């Protein structure tokens, strides 16, 4: 076998990567021409690349490395579990200690009567589970016509056929289609779509689209509503305060199951264990993944309330599951991650230290000439880039403002993502105040450079 190591020249690694590695959500040919950035190490909030750059990771990997990189305890737990029981399934009336312990711990942390965990390997798989779970629930209840699930445009729920269909991203639907029985309503993005309404009125109006959609479909045909407490991949869209209470009221009124997709917002990201607690949502099902293991192992799941678990669980076999549902190594690592989060009071650190400090510095970015609103909940934030703050205007497409700004961040050893004209962050939850200063200094420098280049190109104009 060829040995490919960190010590090979970057160009050689890039050549091999381009030849054989088909990346997710990537323009393959475009990347091959440019060469991928090769990440070689991680420690805390810091990454190192093959050129020796020390990069501050403002995205916690892909919104997941909540306890930071390089925690040896997790490596040790994985090694120990592999030696003891590397794999066994949880089908056929069998179980094992890591799955039992993790399910019990999640049930303890989750609010209300969310007491039952169906494990999956990822957030996408968990959302596919949810589609089958809610449809099965209504079948067993004697209402098989309740099949339709309502979701939001610009929501993200994964990239499998089910997850991608629940998501409201048209480019994803365009590649492979969309499964039947999923309907979308508009998102609560006041900055881009709120027009002359106040944020509060707009939040109510967008939530009421759910009621309109239910009435249009016929309440008896609707199985569930799914939403992220805060849209992540869609650009960290923090809804107006009026939004979720109205969604909750409507779901309650029509007896529709409410699924909170907590893949990003779960496990401390918003300053509580779950985003549903931050926004006062009482879901029947929560989707989890990412921060559950801090990304150290691939694991996800659905946390299911007593009622749904009793109905679906009390009607014979539920024909659904994955080889890796409750994988013992992933479960043991997730459990150790949750132990560290609790012992080191990481959620409290977000709420009492990191969020308040970052909020002050993040909000101040709105003074920058190209930043409109700056929003932050817990440790997930976005800034809207605009050539005209008063009009909340967009840049011309040719300005490529998000990509342009992201390139400056890369050059300044900061990972801050672009989604359209928004820049977003979601750093590891363990970030210190000194590291927040570094993140903000690099963000400002990148914004300054992007601003200067837009001006130089005559692109600091409204669309
Ligand atoms: N739900 C939500 C809310 C997510 O953010 C998924 C489900 C799917 O999870 P898996 O583990 O199947 O990827 C996600 C994943 C981005 C980006 O560009 C975000 C995600 C995945 C890939 C890219 O921000 N979130």
Pocket of ligand 1 (CB under 6 A): 62, 122-124, 127, 156-158, 163, 228, 232-233, 261, 263-264, 287, 289, 300
Q: Which amino acid residue places its CA nearest to atom 20 of ligand 1?
A: 233
* Contact partners, residue 371, CB within 8 Å, separation at least 6: 365, 383, 384, 385, 386, 389, 447
CB atoms within 10 A of CB 420: 16
369-426 pLDDT tens trace:
999 999 999 999 999 999 999 999 999 999 999 999 999 999 999 999 999 999 999 9
| Whether the Cβ atoms of residue 330 and residue 298 lie closer than 8 Å to each other | yes
Between 2.160.10.10, 3.10.20.30, 3.90.1150.10, 3.40.30.10, what CATH number should domain 37-67+345-456 receive? 3.90.1150.10
For residue 180, the CA-to-ligand 1 centroid distance in Å is 21
What is the distance between the alpha carbons of residues 155 and 161, in angstroms, rounded to a whole number?
Answer: 15
**What pLDDT was estimated at residue 104?**
98
CATH architecture of 73-343: 3-Layer(aba) Sandwich (3.40)
Q: Whose CA is nearest to atom 16 of ligand 1?
A: 233
Is 449 a residue whose pLDDT tops 80?
A: yes
Q: Distance from the CA of 157 to the center of ligand 1, in angstroms? A: 6
Residue 105 has pLDDT above 90, yes or no: yes
Give the gyration radius of the chain's Cα atoms: 22
List, by residue range, all CATH 3.90.1150.10 domains of the chain: 37-67+345-456
What's the 233 CA to ligand 1 centre distance in angstroms? 7
* Burial track 284-322 (b if 16+ CB lie within 10 A, e otherwise): bbbbbbbbbbbbbbbbbbbbbbeebbebbeeeeeeeeeb
User: Is it the case that residue 5 has pLDDT exceeding 80?
Assistant: no
How many angstroms does the Cα of residue 59 sit away from the middle of ligand 1?
12
123 CA → ligand 1 middle, Å = 7
DSSP H or E segment with residue 287: strand 285-288
Q: In the chain, pLDDT over 70 holds for what percent of residues?
A: 100
d(CA 330, CA 67): 16
**pTM of structure:** 0.98
Ligand 1 nearest-atom number relative to CA 59: 24
The pLDDT tens digits of the residues spanning 30-61 come to 999 999 999 999 999 999 999 999 999 999 99
Query: Tell me: the pLDDT tens digits for 231-277?
Result: 999 999 999 999 999 999 999 999 999 999 999 999 999 999 999 99
> From atom 7 of ligand 1, which residue's Cα is the shortest distance away?
157
pLDDT band at 305 (very low <50, low <70, confident <90, very high): very high
Please report which confidence band the pLDDT of residue 209 belongs to, taking 50, 70 and 90 as the band edges: very high
According to CATH, where is 3.40.640.10 located in the chain?
73-343
Sheet with strand 182-185: strands edge to edge:
114-120, 300-305, 285-288, 257-261, 222-227, 148-152, 182-185
Dist. CA 197 → ligand 1 center (Å): 31
pLDDT tens for 273-296 read: 999 999 999 999 999 999 999 999
Kindly indicate the confidence band of residue 1, based on its pLDDT and cuts at 50, 70 and 90.
low
Rounded to an integer, the average pLDDT of 438-459 is 98
């Amino acid at each position: 076998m060829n040995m490919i190591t960190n010590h090979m020249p970057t160009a050689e690694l890039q050549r091999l990567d381009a030849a054989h590695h088909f990346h997710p959500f990537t323009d393959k040919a475009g990347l091959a021409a440019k060469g991928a950035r090769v990440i070689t190490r991680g420690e805390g909030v810091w990454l190192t690349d093959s050129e020796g750059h020390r990069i501050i990771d403002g995205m916690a990997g892909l919104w997941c490395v909540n306890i930071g990189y390089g925690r040896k305890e997790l490596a040790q737990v994985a090694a120990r579990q592999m030696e003891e029981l590397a794999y066994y399934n949880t089908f056929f009336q069998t179980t094992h200690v890591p799955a039992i312990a993790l399910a019990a711990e999640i049930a303890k942390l989750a609010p209300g009567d969310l007491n039952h965990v169906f494990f999956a390997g990822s957030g996408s798989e968990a959302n596919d589970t949810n589609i089958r779970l809610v449809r099965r629930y209504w079948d067993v209840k004697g209402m098989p016509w309740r099949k339709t699930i309502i979701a939001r445009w610009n929501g993200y729920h994964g990239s499998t056929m089910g997850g991608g269909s629940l998501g409201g991203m048209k480019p994803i639907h365009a590649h492979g289609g969309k499964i039947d029985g999923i309907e979308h309503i508009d998102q609560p993005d006041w900055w881009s779509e709120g027009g002359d309404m106040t944020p509060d009125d707009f939040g109510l109006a967008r939530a009421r689209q759910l009621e309109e959609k239910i009435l249009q479909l016929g309440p008896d045909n609707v199985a569930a509503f799914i939403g992220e407490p805060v849209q992540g991949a869609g650009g960290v869209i923090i809804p107006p305060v009026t939004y979720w209470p109205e969604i909750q009221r409507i779901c309650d009124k029509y007896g529709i199951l409410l699924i909170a997709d907590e893949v990003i917002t779960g496990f401390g990201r918003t300053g509580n264990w779950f985003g549903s607690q931050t926004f006062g949502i009482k879901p029947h099902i929560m989707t989890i993944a990412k921060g559950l293991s801090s990304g150290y192992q691939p694991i996800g799941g659905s946390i299911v309330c007593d009622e749904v678990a009793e109905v679906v669980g009390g009607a014979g076999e539920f024909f659904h599951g994955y080889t890796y549902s409750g994988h013992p190594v992933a479960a043991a690592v997730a459990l150790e991650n949750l132990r560290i989060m609790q012992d080191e009071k990481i959620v409290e650190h977000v709420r009492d230290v990191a969020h308040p400090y970052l909020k002050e510095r993040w909000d101040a970015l709105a003074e920058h000439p190209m930043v409109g609103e700056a929003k932050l909940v817990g440790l997930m934030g976005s800034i809207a880039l605009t050539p005209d703050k008063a009009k909340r205007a967009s840049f011309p497409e040719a300005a490529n403002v998000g990509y342009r700004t992201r390139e400056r961040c890369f050059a300044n050893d900061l990972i801050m993502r672009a989604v359209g004209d928004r820049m977003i962050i979601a750093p590891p939850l363990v970030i210190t105040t000194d590291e927040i200063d570094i993140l903000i200094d690099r963000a400002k420098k990148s914004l300054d450079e992007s601003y200067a280049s837009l001006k130089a190109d005559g692109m600091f104009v409204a669309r």
